Structure 1
Amino acid sequence: MAYDLTINDRTHSVPSAWLGESLLYVLRERLGMPGSKNACDQGECGSCSVQLDGQLVCSCCVLAADAADGDIRTVEGVASGSGRRDGAPEGELSDVQQAFLDEGAVQCGFCIPGLIVSVHDLLDRVPDADELTVREAISGNLCRCTGYGRILEAVATVQSRRAGGGGS
């Protein structure tokens, strides 16, 4: 079977597909979008988080064929320029990605794509989220390197910069 997926505002054909393939598998293996990571394959770690029709989902738990009529935004899409809310030109890091770098929130990098998508999702919905709300929003993303302190600092930096405070 063949179907099309709309990913980061572009249509991608998925030819000769098996209907049981996860969205994560199709993104990484069939379409060459390695940003979303495969860690647990059970929706427990958040490394494969993407937005599907504006909802944060674990792409390892979604059948790709079920997403054929949906709008998918991956970590590659937050830096692509299309649909970005932070106004940065295409090809530049998003403000969330830049803050993660600035605050040292990137360690091994395995959980970072899912965290970036999750933080974008949160701040697009709740720009002034307090720390408890941020912690709840990223609670589905497991990180074994940072202890979350620097991640929380990165979120606060984005909030400050978006509010005109500049951040660190």
Structure 2
Amino acid sequence: MEIKLWINGKLIEDNIEPDTPLLEYVRSKGCLSVKRGCETSNCGLCTLWIDEKPVLSCTVLAARANGKHITTLEGLQEEAKEFGEFMAKEGADQCGYCNPGFIMNVLAMVRELKEFSDEDIKEYLVGNLCRCTGYMGQFRAVKAFLNYKRGGER
């Protein structure tokens, strides 16, 4: 099956098997930040953006991305680094395995939420599994980052 899509701004035209998961396809193109965790849409490790919206790539076929713009963490390095400083400050960066999917959702949140409450943050991140933390450091980092992006202090 012929597809045409953009991964991190780069046009790719390719021939794929119709049943290729998007997760496997983007990894084959060098986007190793997109990770396999559960393959049941429960952990968030495979989060990437299709046309600026976060999706779980383990349950989306690559064929569904035909004509779309795919963004992975590799395409958002500066923003990811900026948020990473907030994670480090709160001591929320332990093993780091869940970070790429988590960061993809946080950066999408910055774009999508004009105003936010604690409940909005919790609801938005409910699908991100972290086996190392108690989530409070991550929550504080997200809240501080969103406040900063809305004009607050660093």
Shared fold per TM-score greater than 0.5: yes
* Counterpart among 62, 68, 73 of residue 66 in structure 2: 68
Displacement of 1:93 in angstroms is 4.3
Partner of 1:58: 56
Using a 3 Å threshold, how does the CA distance of structure 1 residues 127 and 105 change in structure 2: closer, same or farther?
A: farther
Partner of 2:4: 4
Equivalences for residues 28-67 of structure 1 within 5 A: 28=27, 30-67=28-65
Q: Letter of the 1:75 partner, please give it.
A: L
- Identity among equivalent positions (%) equals 34
Whichever structure has more helix as a proportion of its residues is 2
Using a 3 Å threshold, how does the CA distance of structure 1 residues 54 and 92 change in structure 2: closer, same or farther?
A: closer
Partner of 2:24: 25
Deviations 1:54-93 (A, max 9, x none): 22210011111210211111111221xxxxxxxxxxx574
Query: Number of aligned pairs?
Result: 154
Q: Matches of 1:78 and 1:97 in 2, distance apart?
A: 12
Q: Matches of 2:148 and 2:120 in 1, distance apart?
A: 19
Q: Matches of 2:84 and 2:20 in 1, distance apart?
A: 29
Using a 3 Å threshold, how does the CA distance of structure 1 residues 93 and 119 change in structure 2: closer, same or farther?
A: closer
Q: Matches of 1:44 and 1:61 in 2, distance apart?
A: 10
Displacement of 1:163 in angstroms is 3.1
Unaligned runs of 5+ in 1: 80-90
Equivalences for residues 72-151 of structure 1 within 5 A: 72-79=70-77, 93-151=80-138
Q: Matches of 2:128 and 2:63 in 1, distance apart?
A: 25
CA RMSD across the alignment: 1.8
